[in-house]
Structure 1
Amino acid sequence: MNADGVGSARPGGRTARTRAAVAVALQEELLEVGYGGTTMDRIARRAGVAKTTVYRRWGSVGQLVVELFAEAAGTQIPVPDTGSFEGDLRALARSAVAVLTHPRSRAIFDVVVREAVHDPAARAALTGFFAGRVANAAPIVSRAVERGEIPADTDAAEVIRQLGAPYYARMYITGDPIGVADADRAAAVTAMAARGGLLSS
């Protein structure tokens, strides 16, 4: 998922153009009327495609959101390389916060988190998203180990959990806003915990 939301256009003809148009229409509907007001008919009309195509391909708004989110979760994002463990974590956290505060991305993310409570497909998409972020962070951890900044048995998954927990808690538990200061604080705390051997496997 990038800061422009879910569903960037792919080359590949009419099918790719249809998917891109539907993705944009979905995001605009979520922003305009919210999840409760978004319907497949509205999405099809806004996207300029036949509603039978949308229903046949996705079935429901929830399925559409989950599938597009799952696709975006597999997108590779640049791995920061600032020369220090904490610097890399800070860059990663700032990037995550930028995405999560973008209205289009946030609208999609909110739906997937909500649906994951009872929908196995949404749960799998969300799990896949975080697995991708862990894999993305693995080079950050391995470089830090090589530089002697953190213990050799530091667990990349624990690093990502620790890094993301503060701003996800603010978003979905306390309802507080998130910003750059929260990203920087999360990076500093995570780096300190890793250096102290608290994030080992």
Structure 2
Amino acid sequence: MELENKIALGSAGVAVAAAAVAGWQAWLARRSAEAAERQAAAAEAQIVLMSKERDERDSPRFAVISAVIDDDDNGQPIARLEIQQTSGVELRRVQLTASGEYVRGDASPRQWNGSVQGGTVHVELDIEWRHVEPVEFELRFNCVGARDQREWTTHARGRASRVQPSPTGQGASYRAYRQQHHRP
């Protein structure tokens, strides 16, 4: 009987040791899982950061090349703007809104398709009759990328004034300039 007790006692000792090893392995597995979760969270944060950096790098930028106040055919003041996309990816669509103390309504055209890199878009803004020059305005561009449909919102600011004739009478209004350089 003594041998049986020793065997039972030895078996119990082995079982306790196995349980301790199993507990230690469970603790190691839990620590490993926690480390893997931290690594996954860090990888996700890195992906988000890289995506933001890519969006910032690819974001379209616009510049107001010229802004002149002139009268439309009805004698109402309008600001004639020339806008250029100076950087960023190729665009599928651009929607434009304008604001400013003396700006009435939206810009015309309000939307165009495609990029204007290397070229310009001519835009007109209705200006209030009683305005103070220079008229300051802000343009908001809501853009959609041509390749991957990413979206951006970017802004450009400008000032518009009437073109003053030169002392020699050689100066021209924007309307005369446009007639000389009109593209059909």
TM-score normalised to structure 2 length? 0.26
TM-score normalised to structure 1 length? 0.24
Task: Identify the structure with the greater strand proportion.
Answer: 2
Task: Identify the structure with the greater helix proportion.
Answer: 1
